[in-house]
Amino acid sequence: GNSVTQMEGPVTLSEEAFLTINCTYTATGYPSLFWYVQYPGEGLQLLLKATKADDKGSNKGFEATYRKETTSFHLEKGSVQVSDSAVYFCALSDFTGGTASKLTFGTGTRLQVTL
Amino acid sequence: KAGVTQTPRYLIKTRGQQVTLSCSPISGHRSVSWYQQTPGQGLQFLFEYFSETQRNKGNFPGRFSGRQFSNSRSEMNVSTLELGDSALYLCASSLDGLLSSPLHFGNGTRLTVT
């Protein structure tokens, strides 16, 4: 079956530091890949997505490239801010059963950014 | 545009009882999915409804059920509650459940079973 593996957190960085959160996946076929972010007390928000190999998703300074050869989708940001403190989830969807709404999520990585 | 609305935000129930959670999707969205989030198991897919029909389901026991109404609003029911059902239940909506339609999540209903 499908699975997503994320690096363990928490990740603690100083403001303006470079961020990388690793994500690898196992799936049959050609899944779409996503990063979601969850702020305290809230639901998940879609941060970025990529639907095919070598696609780069980007949003709010965050980037991730769909690497089929290494089955990875690592999240990066060049300069983090305190407001980026949240839990980040890597996820995949392979459009089984006639829907892309069945996402497989990683365990989440908590990011804490300090001044 | 209003987001996905889940009610109630918090619920406390006793083991053996049943509970109903409600989700109002974004206007125009026809697909509604439900997820369970726990510290131990993370985010797990429960089921998805589209045009009042369950289109896909995850690996949960039959105590977990749902339905969707003609206005796309959805309810989720859990019968004979167990302590392990304590979780944050998230609803997500999308236009049609296709890859081109991202999921929009609500803020969830936190269920505590005592």
Q: Which of B90, B103, B106 sits opposite A101 (nearest CB)?
A: B103
Helix/strand/coil for B10: strand
Q: Nearest-CA distance from B27 to chain A in Å?
A: 17
DSSP-assigned beta bridge partners for residue B44:
B36
A97 pLDDT tier (thresholds 50, 70, 90)? low
Q: Nearest-CA distance from A45 to chain B in Å?
A: 7
pLDDT in tens, B10-60: 999 999 999 999 999 999 999 999 999 999 899 999 999 999 999 889 999
Q: Which of B43, B55, B106 sits opposite A105 (nearest CB)?
A: B43
> Residue B5: closest CA among chain A residues belongs to which residue?
A43
Looking at residue A98, what is its pLDDT?
Answer: 60
Task: Work out the average pLDDT over A5-21.
Answer: 95
Looking at residue A1, what is its pLDDT?
Answer: 83
Token pair in block for residue B100:
């081109």
Helix/strand/coil for A6: strand
pLDDT in tens, A30-64: 889 999 999 988 889 999 999 889 999 999 999 99
Residue A96 pLDDT more than 70? no
> Is the distance from CB of A48 to CB of B110 less than 8 angstroms?
no
